[in-house]
A and B are shown apart, each in its own frame.
Chain A
Amino acid sequence: MHYGEDHQLTGSQAGRITYTLESSLDSVNRVEQTAEQMAKKAGMDEDEVFRIAMAVREAAVNAVLHGNSYDPEKRITASFENTGEALVIRIADQGKGLDPETLPDPLAPENLLRGSGRGIFLIRSFMDEVHFKQLHPGTELTLIKHLGTAQTGS
């Protein structure tokens, strides 16, 4: 698969790998696949690998689409770390910022038939912890899956 020319490995130390990527769907796919490989390597079962990869994909979509609005001048950064106790994935954009408190509840009856607005909800459903940090400009999402709580080997 082609991922575009404009990405680079910007750091690999203490078990953390960081990529800086252009604001494109290729970057989304790359980040998703990296998360999938990381979860498999950590011994997660197929369902858990799917959930982690999907959560990370949704975070990357948010960064590329809602954060950076596909702006070719803006980058996303994605870092992946297995601390031994948890998988920690950070996805950051250079957009105008996201306040998670303002997001409508996609499960509310009046929102059920909306054509969008489920990404953050799915991320929260699939990960053990989700943290938002304002970067001024931009938003960083930290997605955490505890290795102890994940269902492995079933």
Chain B
Amino acid sequence: MSMKVNTRQVDGVTILDLSGRITLGEGSVQLRDAVRDLLAKGSKLILLNLGDVNYIDSSGIGELVSAYTTVRNQGGELKLLNLTKKVHDLLQITKLYTVFDVKDDEASAIASYTRA
């Protein structure tokens, strides 16, 4: 039921492939820890691949927002890739769809980051 995280590096961008549920007490904590670890290592260009995230609750939405602001405040960029319809709809309802930089193609997402 909980979330799995796989980490990849592509052209200086860290891709977190997430699968499962991002909910209170389950995926939320894992997502927070994963992003915190990346920032601690100096990886500030982060792409969250949500293609296999089939469920997210208000806690998970809050965690996405917190990850976004945390990365941004440290001078990095966090973008979202491959939203499922459910997650897309939730971000629309909560007016967050336009806050996030949402991509649907990995290669163009990677190319879109601002490198120092």
| Interface of A toward B, CB cutoff 8 Å | 1, 25, 28-29, 50, 54, 57-58, 61, 65, 106-107, 112-119, 121-122, 125
Partner pick for B95 among A112, A116, A117, A122, CB 8 A cutoff: A112
Question: How many residues of B are counted as interface, with CB atoms below 8 angstroms from the partner's CB atoms?
Answer: 22
| Interface of B toward A, CB cutoff 8 Å | 1, 23-26, 57-59, 61-63, 65-66, 68-69, 86, 90, 93-96, 99
Question: Which 8 A-B pairs give the minimum distances between C-beta atoms?
Answer: A115-B66, A118-B58, A115-B62, A119-B58, A25-B25, A116-B62, A107-B95, A113-B69
Chain A residues with CB under 8 A of B57: 54, 57-58, 61
Cβ-defined contact, A114 with B62, below 8 A = yes
Per DSSP, chain B at the interface is helix
Chain B residues with CB under 8 A of A57: 23, 57
**In whole angstroms, how far apart are the Cα atoms of A58 and B23 in the complex?**
10
Chain A residues with CB under 8 A of B26: 25
Chain B residues with CB under 8 A of A114: 62, 65
Given contact pairs A25-B26, A61-B57, A118-B94, enumerate 10 new A-B contacts (beta carbons under 8 Å): A57-B57, A107-B95, A112-B65, A112-B96, A112-B99, A113-B99, A114-B65, A115-B63, A115-B66, A121-B58
**In whole angstroms, how far apart are the Cα atoms of A58 and B90 in the complex?**
13
Chain B residues with CB under 8 A of A112: 65, 95-96, 99
Partner pick for B24 among A25, A106, A121, CB 8 A cutoff: A25
Q: What is the minimal beta-carbon distance from A93 to any residue of chain B, in angstroms?
A: 15
Chain A residues with CB under 8 A of B93: 122, 125
**In whole angstroms, how far apart are the Cα atoms of A29 and B24 in the complex?**
10
Cβ-defined contact, B65 with A61, below 8 A = no
Cβ-defined contact, B99 with A61, below 8 A = no
Closest to B67 in A: A115
Closest to A29 in B: B1
Q: What is the minimal beta-carbon distance from A139 to any residue of chain B, in angstroms?
A: 17
**In whole angstroms, how far apart are the Cα atoms of A12 and B43 in the complex?**
55
Closest to A123 in B: B58
